[in-house]
Structure 1
Amino acid sequence: MSRQAAIRIFALFALGYFLSYVYRGLNIGFAPFLSREMGLTASDLGLLTSFYFIGFALAQLPAGLALDRYGARRTDAVLLLVAAVGTVLYGMTHSMQGLIVGRILIGVGVSVCLGAGFLAIAQNFPSSRWPLLNGLMVALGGMGGVVVGTPLAVLLTQYSWREISIGMAVFTVAVAAVIWLLVPESKQRHASHESVSKQIHGIRIILKNSVFWRVVPFPCAVGGAFYAAQSLWVKPYLTDVSELTARQADSLVSMLGLTMVAGTVITGMVARKIERYGLGLRAFCGLGMALFVLVQLLILFRVPVSLTLIWGAYGFLAASCILAYALLAEVFPRKVVGRVTTAFNMIFFISIFSMQVGVGFVLDFWPATEGHYPAVAHLTAWGMMVAIQLLSAILYFWPGALKVDEQLFE
């Protein structure tokens, strides 16, 4: 493959994942307009926003079948059209039911963007470059989180949320078209020769496989804790426990987002180079996640360290869990990488949702004063998340080789 073709493949799938990240955060900017125009309460907005994740999670296993059967190019392009239909409905409806259906369709439509990108990397690049390219893919997608901040706020001063939704649909169709037309079909054999029942049987094998369950829980616990906190609970922790002002907390939240992006790139670059010193991908990924747990303990015990330093390390080390995608691609046969990635994604998103809801549930055991919870409430909730990560680490570091025989899927 030429260098130009390789760059084109990576860039187009990264663009698709960037788009999915923008969709994930659109309601941050839309929320006040939805409340005013549609009469939605805070609980309505929370429920509505969560339907993206529901659609995303429910689509993972069938999306994995499609990836392995039809390939990354066709699956990603077709599903992006579903997202376009969803956002048109979202922008034109005048009912809560229409918003919900639109949000679900958007979640389904972008559900394969990351998995398609990882599969394309696994099929078109040498394994020595997977950690770096996977990290770059996640980092570029993560920049979509920047777009739903100030840029979206500026757009909303010029256009309505409905017009922006229609504009997103047009852009999504354009991205689907360029992926379909400009990404070459992979030379890797797809699983289209397998019956659907055999492919489903392959998913069952993955979900019952002990190696899968030794690898997956720790990165899902780490990623679940980080993304649940980053998207909702970090700022309340900083204001209620660390007693920062809202502006100071906002600065730290932005900073840890940037360090997370930096972490995905740097850990991906270092992962393969450090193998020459005897530290393999499994060990390096595990070390980074273990250090992430250590940083959380330092935060919980309020060790006298600069908040900028400790929260910067929190964001940077959280990126270690992304290396698990490359690890799973090494452990499992290439013909099931799509299904393995989407099965992992499903559990990952369930973990984020569960931890985000769980923290709120724990906090409600203490009465809030003017919207603020006592420090003990946050410390208890975060301590429980750390305990879950420590338990899952036992499985990850349990001695034994990690390799799945291809004959299991014959």
Structure 2
Amino acid sequence: MQISTAWRIARVFLPFAVGYYLSYLFRTINALIANHLSSDTGLGTADLGLLTSVYFLVFAIAQIPVGILLDRFGPRRVQSVLLLLAAAGAGLFAISTDFLSLLIARAMIGLGVAAALTAGLKSIVLWFPRERVALLNGYMVMLGSLGAVTATVPVDHLLAWMGWRQLFGVLAVATGATAILIYAVVPERGIVPSAAGATLGFVLGDRRFWRMAPLSATCVGSTWSLQGLWASPWLTDVEGLDRASLVRQLFMMSIVLSAGAWLFGTTVHAIKRKGIGAETVLAMVAVLFIAAELSLILRVSLPSILLWSIVAIVGTATVVSFAVIADYFPPELAGRANGALNVLHFGWAFLAQYATGLILEQWSANDGHRPVQAYQVAFGLNLVLQIAALVWFALPWRRSIASWMSSILFFRPADVSCAVERVGLYEDSVILLPADDNADW
């Protein structure tokens, strides 16, 4: 039977997009309710950083087993069961009165939404043509990142009359309803058995993965850490924004975030049709992100909203990273491969978010505000590691270009031909790698 695109969108794509929307909302909401949590429960800066970042820690730990479960049982069953756990976590968060119970509730939420994106990506791989995967990944992340939009002005208005506890009660009900929706509406799809050798070890043994993954993790994880929590205190402590101005800027950042997913999806879709690898886009995004962070740290005279919008948009560069992954590995390994990359994304987000809180606490607060030097040190350490990851990512290009230039200078046609075959970073790029993916670079 011929299945229409509209049918696939309605019964496969949109239900998983709703689940990812809730995941993004849970991820970023603490930036807006941080003051309420601190005043109601007496949390310090480090405790607040740990409470918020434990979501990322649990999320990261769960990625490998979740990826295996997705490849084995399919996204419908895995996502619906886990979202029920997230609903229970949100309900516990709503009634918690001490740090430990809040921490456990936040961890339950993180585990419950651990498959939110990868289940959606897996469903796209299973139900849609391969050439549409990057574009649909972009739309998935775009719709999901509307959760970050909701976690600004709309949530601020809700907090004015219902409080953060009641809000989490509403989120618990919505998350449970989404779990039921996915189980009831999404059809089953036969899972293709993995080919011989197509295991997690196959993914982790691929050198291309380890060239790309650290750069993706340090950039994407850092922007999640910033937008999910630390952008808010920077804007108040360093830039002196009041509550209304802060909420407006967070709202604009979230709009840019959502638009970025669409931009990255369409860009990758377009360049791949021209035979250019998505790695080129990832490198450009990393350079732009590093430049924006450096400008913030050095207090360059540029509009704050411009720099923070660049920071925000990098949060959806997962669209680019997962497009790269889709080219590296077959569909039956999509869950494992995406999960492995997400371990690094969310693991880095946890480390960056928690470490930032620890570093900031080394400076005394003056009237509730910490000095700019504290933020410069905390953000600067993260920046140094991103630059190191970019250098690691670019090493094969440097070596290949040097070999090619050497061949040109010495005018040896045979060497030039050999060098041209090797220039480039990955197959599917404009210039190809050797046939052996594991060849020594």
- Give TM class, smaller chain: 0.7 to 0.9
8 Å CA contact 1:292, 1:314 repeated in 2: yes
Cα separation, 2, equivalents of 1:148 and 1:16: 15
Residues 177 and 308 (structure 1 numbering): CA distance in 2 closer, same or farther, change over 3 Å?
Answer: closer
Whether the 8 Å CA contact 1:87–1:106 is kept in 2: the answer is yes
Deviation at 1:212, TM superposition (A): 1.6
1:30 to partner: Cα distance: 6.3
**2:394 aligned with 1:394, yes or no?**
no
Q: Which amino acid in structure 2 is aligned with residue 14 of structure 1?
A: A
Shift of residue 115, structure 1, vs aligned partner: 0.5
Q: What is the alpha-carbon distance in structure 2 between the residues aligned to residue 162 and residue 244 of structure 1?
A: 26
TM-fit CA distance, 1:140 = 1.5
Q: Which amino acid aligns with 2:289?
A: F
Distance (whole Å) between structure 1 residues aligned to residue 364 and residue 162 of structure 2: 40
Kindly tell me: are residues 347 and 402 of structure 1, through their superposed partners in 2, closer, same or farther at Cα, counting changes over 3 Å?
farther
Change (3 A) 1:172 1:405: farther
Map of 1:83 onto structure 2: 86
Q: Given residue 352 of structure 2, which amino acid in structure 1 is its aligned partner?
A: M
Q: 2 CA distance for matches of 1:92 and 1:371?
A: 27
Aligned with 2:317: secondary structure?
helix
Q: Distance in 1 between matches of 2:100 and 2:393?
A: 42
Contact in 2 for aligned 1:289/1:318 (Cα 8 Å): no
Report if aligned partners of 1:83, 1:110 keep a CA contact under 8 Å in 2.
yes
Question: What is the aligned counterpart of 1:265 among 262, 275, 283?
Answer: 262
* Contact 1:333 1:405 (C-alpha < 8 Å) held by counterparts: no
Q: For 2:89, give the aligned amino acid.
A: G
Residues 245 and 31 (structure 1), Cα distance of their counterparts in 2 relative to 1, 3 Å cut: closer
Q: Does structure 1 residue 350 correspond to structure 2 residue 347?
A: yes
CA shift, 1:188, in A, is 4.5
Q: 2:64 aligns with which of 51, 61, 65?
A: 61
Residue number in structure 2 paired with 1:380: 377
- For 2:329, the equivalent position in structure 1 comes to 332
Q: Do structure 1's residue 225 and structure 2's residue 222 form an aligned pair?
A: yes
Look up the equivalent residue of 1:13 and give its one-letter code: F
The aligned residue for residue 407 of structure 2 is none
Measured in 2, the distance between the counterparts of 1:155 and 1:146 equals 14
Which residue identity does 1:268 align to in structure 2? G
Look up the match of 2:110. Answer: 107
Deviation at residue 93 of structure 1 after TM alignment: 5.8
Q: Equivalent residue for 2:401?
A: none
Of all paired residues, the percent bearing the same amino acid is 34
- Distance of 2:266 and 2:108 partners within structure 1: 35
Aligned residue runs from structure 1 range 167-186, under 5 A: 167-186=170-189
Structure 1 residue ranges without an equivalent (≥5):
none
2 CA distance for matches of 1:49 and 1:380?
21
Q: How many residues align?
A: 400
How far did 1:107 drift? 1.8
Q: Give, in angstroms, the shift of residue 29 of structure 1.
A: 6.6
| Cα distance in 2, alignment partners of residues 151 and 251 from structure 1 | 11
| Partner Cα distance (1:110, 1:188) in 2 | 22
Is contact 1:6–1:124 with CA below 8 Å preserved after alignment? Answer: yes
- 2:345 counterpart SS class: helix
1:182 and 1:337 mapped to 2: Cα distance? Answer: 22
Letter of the aligned partner of 1:259 in structure 2?
Answer: V
- Contact 1:332-1:405 within 8 A present in 2 as well: no
Task: Find the partner of 1:212 among 199, 209, 214.
Answer: 209
Amino acid at match of 2:183: W
Q: Say whether the 8 Å CA contact 2:49–2:357 is kept in structure 1.
A: no
Deviation at 1:265, TM superposition (A): 0.8
User: How big is each residue's C-alpha offset from its partner over 1:107-160, in whole Å with a ceiling of 9 and x where there is no partner?
Assistant: 211110111001111222223322222222122112112333444454456656
1:405 Cα deviation after fit: 9.1
Aligned residue number for residue 291 of structure 1: 288
Provide closer, same or farther for how the CA distance between residues 249 and 346 of structure 1 changes in structure 2, counting only shifts above 3 A.
Answer: same
TM-score if structure 2 supplies the norm length?
0.78
CA distance in 1, matches of 2:225, 2:185: 36
| 1:5 alignment partner in structure 2 | 7
Secondary structure at 1:357 match in 2 = helix
The answer (yes or no) to whether the contact 1:285–1:321 under 8 Å persists in 2 is: no
Whether the 8 Å CA contact 1:218–1:392 is kept in 2: the answer is yes
C-alpha distance in 2 between matches for 1:243 and 1:171: 35
Q: Please provide the CA RMSD for this pair.
A: 3.4
Contact 1:134 1:322 (C-alpha < 8 Å) held by counterparts: yes
Task: Give the secondary structure class of the aligned counterpart of 2:368.
Answer: coil
Could you tell me how far 1:190 is from its partner in structure 2?
5.0
Of 132, 138, 149, which residue of structure 2 is paired with 1:135? 138
1:307 and 2:304 aligned: yes
2:89–2:105 Cα contact (<8 Å) kept: yes
1-structure distance, mates of 2:87, 2:380: 41
2:323 alignment partner AA: A
Instruction: Supply the distance in 2 between the matched residues of 1:239 and 1:27 (Cα, whole angstroms).
Output: 15
CA–CA separation in structure 2 for the residues paired with 1:361 and 1:96: 17
Instruction: Say if 2:224 and 2:315, in contact at 8 Å, map to a contact too.
Output: no
Residue 389 (structure 1) shift: 1.3
Q: 1:369 aligns with which of 366, 371, 377?
A: 366
Q: Give the Cα separation in 2 of the matches to 1:306 and 1:27.
A: 25
Instruction: Please identify, of 9-18 and 263-272, the stretch whose mean Cα deviation from structure 2 is larger.
Output: 263-272
